[in-house]
Structure 1
Amino acid sequence: MGAELELRILNADDLNCANEYDYFKENISARFKDNITSEFLQCMLEINTPVFNNLSDLIKYFKEITLELNSLASKKNLLLQSSGSSALKQEHLELSSNKRYQELSNEHKILLDDFSICGLHVHVGFKNFDKALKAYNFSLSYMPIFLALSASSVYSNGQDTGIHSYRTKVFDRLPKASIPEYFTSYTQMKNVYNVLYKTEVIQSEKDVWWDVRIQPSFKTIEFRVCDAINDFDRLEIIIGLFRGICKLSQLKEVSFEPMQVLKQNMWKASRYSMNANFICKSQQKTIREVTNKLIDELYEHHIISDEFMDKAREIVSKNSIAQDMIEIYEKTNDLREVEKIGVIK
């Protein structure tokens, strides 16, 4: 397993975005220097973890690197924040100096004008492509669960969007994003990639921004559906459940859902997070029912421990981060208080 978490850099005084990526890259210790990279904007950075076999080691790494990043931030009166979107209206945003991001900006124009969004990406590796492909197909119907659990972008750029994961709607505007199709073989999927390469639509596999994508050369699945979060307990459960469905996929048959059902479930999760309804085998269920059933199956197949199961059920019973944001705003009428929810402590 590995994971990527995108962070926003804020001025501590006014919570405005600070274009300070270079400061962190230049001053972070040698131990972590190769594990932070630039993002689309200079006020963002991305943590890339090493590969881990143990979930607790991965979470420990996140805690250690964010501790050092927070120490650097405090020396310059900065804060690090991780949520799907910035609640406050942000100005004076600077594009990354990375050539790839400059080309993306030129290609997509206004679609990327409010792209100060942050996500969580989780990678799971497999021994061979067939196992990875089965897990990829199996996972598509579960993506709304992870979207609901991570939703943290109901307020964006000074507006109440009404959409609990507005970040996903920003991404959905892009031609190479959103929920992907099923693939029945390596050849079928590779043909799609080959066409995109040949026509220069993509330069590499990382130019495909599906909610979940398979990387043929590495035999890995990358789950990209989640909003960024700063809650390490929730982070642990989400990553553990991603790994869990990959293992479960090898024991069960894939249920191929109609694309319109997949899209409808994704919409409901983005709109209502943990209060969403879910179409499951032609029946309507709550997203909590579906998630708890998944947890039951993972436990029954000895994929998760008693401790993980209890922690997962607790997270599922809670509000989403977006729901907490709504409650805070209704009490305070202050988007600064909403923005503070995502600050990494």
Structure 2
Amino acid sequence: MQIPFAPSTHSSLGVEWELQLVDPETRELTSGAIEILDELRPAGAEEHPKAKHELLQSTIEVVTGVCQTVGEAKADLAETVRTVAKAADRRGLALMCAGTHPITNWNSQKISPKPRYEQLVENLQWLARRLQIFGVHVHVGVRSPEKVIPIVNALTSYVPHFLALSASSPYWVGHDTGLASSRSKVFEALPTAGLPYQLSGWDQFESYMGTLISTRTIDSVREVWWDIRPHPDFGTVELRICDGLPTLDEVGAVAALAQCLVERLDREIDRGYRLPSPKNWVVRENKWRAARFGLEAEIIVDDKDTVVPVRRALLDLTDELMPIARRLSCTAELAGIERIVAHGASYQRQRTIAEANGGDLTKVVDSLLEEMATGL
């Protein structure tokens, strides 16, 4: 099976941000996406170009166009979020984001009435119905299909960095899971989700997808939801590992990290370097450590089984990437990683609020609503 890849001329950027619709009185996830998106849909169009349906009617995904810089992507997202927030407010709803909702039971949620989602639930049953989870996806342009798989393989070394930085789902249906990111464990239960396979090249990617499609496991490449995957239509590598982030500045930080890493790996290929392919069991262990312990995790960083705190690894990586960030005009956004590490990731902030309020998770919802509205 041949899969055309539309190469990008440079490390362009696109971001997708899955937002929750919440009733500020009950603090529960509340359906409203159909009415809001119908209101915002331009005349004669099937949907708004930058605000989309998701699986649940209590979710709206906002997306950027093709951007050159992280600053441009943030401005793009901010404009769409303002538009969506006004329409939500007219219906008594507010926006927030985290990897999970602290208190709402997934059983109470309505599925969006679109054939794609109805088929997903029919195929995956309970696994799909409980997908009350929210993420941030970052697309970075890649210059040729020959580079994509080596870059995906190399990026798996940074799965714990992205997950620890973005971890925001300690709660599930009113209970503390003990994890920093329960979302990542819920999502990887899907048969085509989780960590990507270490493939040898684009031809093996085509072979793998051809097998899934010919055996009717999936209908299209879009149904393989790896933590990091090629996106042939967009000509990008898509990083899907991040939990939903409560603030635009945090979105900017992970977008800058993604763009700088892909740019560095792309240039290393141009210089003739062979990109590393980390051992699968190390990648899997590191992902678990980040999901369990977040920024408190210690991760394996080399073939000698050296273990370092992920905080230190993140700060060292930020320093290493600063020259690239200057070329990509995202130094301020990349520096945001230091602020998150100092201030605490979302899972830590949520637990601090809960502890200060006797375990009352409605106060956690209030804090997430406030962070979305005002930043950190």
Change in Cα spacing, 1:29 to 1:174, as seen in structure 2 (3 Å) is closer
Per-residue deviation, 1:240: 0.6
Matched residue SS, 2:363: helix
Per-residue deviation, 1:264: 0.6
Is 1:318 the counterpart of 2:340? The answer is no
CA distance in 1, matches of 2:332, 2:350: 28
The code of the aligned residue for 2:364 comes to V
Residue matched to 1:297: 320
CA distance in 1, matches of 2:38, 2:234: 30
2:104 is aligned, of 65, 68, 89, to: 89
Greater shift, 169-178 or 91-100, is seen at 91-100
Matched residue SS, 1:342: helix
Is 1:272 the counterpart of 2:274? The answer is no
List per-residue Cα deviations over 1:172-200 (Å, max 9, x = no partner). 11110111122221111111011111111
CA distance in 2, matches of 1:156, 1:165: 10
Residue matched to 1:342: 368
Per-residue deviation, 1:216: 3.4
Is 1:196 the counterpart of 2:222? The answer is no
Is 1:178 the counterpart of 2:194? The answer is yes
Contact kept, 8 Å, 1:8 with 1:17, in 2: the verdict is: yes
Structure-to-structure mapping, 1:118-157, within 5 angstroms: 118-157=134-173
CA distance in 1, matches of 2:267, 2:363: 45
Per-residue deviation, 1:341: 3.0
1:331 is aligned, of 340, 356, 359, to: 356
Per-residue deviation, 1:308: 4.2
List per-residue Cα deviations over 1:99-147 (Å, max 9, x = no partner). 1111111222222332211111111112211232332122111011111
Matched residue SS, 1:123: strand
CA distance in 1, matches of 2:233, 2:19: 28
Per-residue deviation, 1:30: 3.5
CA distance in 1, matches of 2:356, 2:180: 18
Q: CA RMSD, aligned part only?
A: 1.8
Contact kept, 8 Å, 1:87 with 1:157, in 2: the verdict is: yes
Per-residue deviation, 1:272: 1.0
List per-residue Cα deviations over 1:51-98 (Å, max 9, x = no partner). 111211110111111111111122111111211101013353111101
Contact kept, 8 Å, 2:102 with 2:172, in 1: the verdict is: yes
Per-residue deviation, 1:16: 1.6
The code of the aligned residue for 1:137 comes to N
Provide TM-score, normalisation by structure 1.
0.95
Residue matched to 1:25: 37
Change in Cα spacing, 1:63 to 1:174, as seen in structure 2 (3 Å) is same
Matched residue SS, 1:250: helix
Residue matched to 1:10: 22
Residue matched to 1:80: 95
CA distance in 1, matches of 2:289, 2:53: 32
Provide TM-score, normalisation by structure 2.
0.87
CA distance in 1, matches of 2:146, 2:323: 24
Is 1:221 the counterpart of 2:244? The answer is no
Greater shift, 27-36 or 157-166, is seen at 27-36
CA distance in 1, matches of 2:230, 2:336: 29
CA distance in 1, matches of 2:248, 2:241: 18
CA distance in 1, matches of 2:335, 2:49: 35
Change in Cα spacing, 1:311 to 1:217, as seen in structure 2 (3 Å) is closer
CA distance in 1, matches of 2:331, 2:48: 36
Contact kept, 8 Å, 1:73 with 1:79, in 2: the verdict is: yes
* Identity %, equivalent residues: 27
Per-residue deviation, 1:326: 1.0
Residue matched to 1:256: 277
CA distance in 2, matches of 1:274, 1:341: 20
CA distance in 1, matches of 2:62, 2:338: 27
Q: Which consecutive residues of structure 1, in runs of 5 or more, have no partner in the other structure?
A: none
Residue matched to 1:38: 53
1:116 is aligned, of 129, 132, 150, to: 132
Contact kept, 8 Å, 2:139 with 2:237, in 1: the verdict is: yes
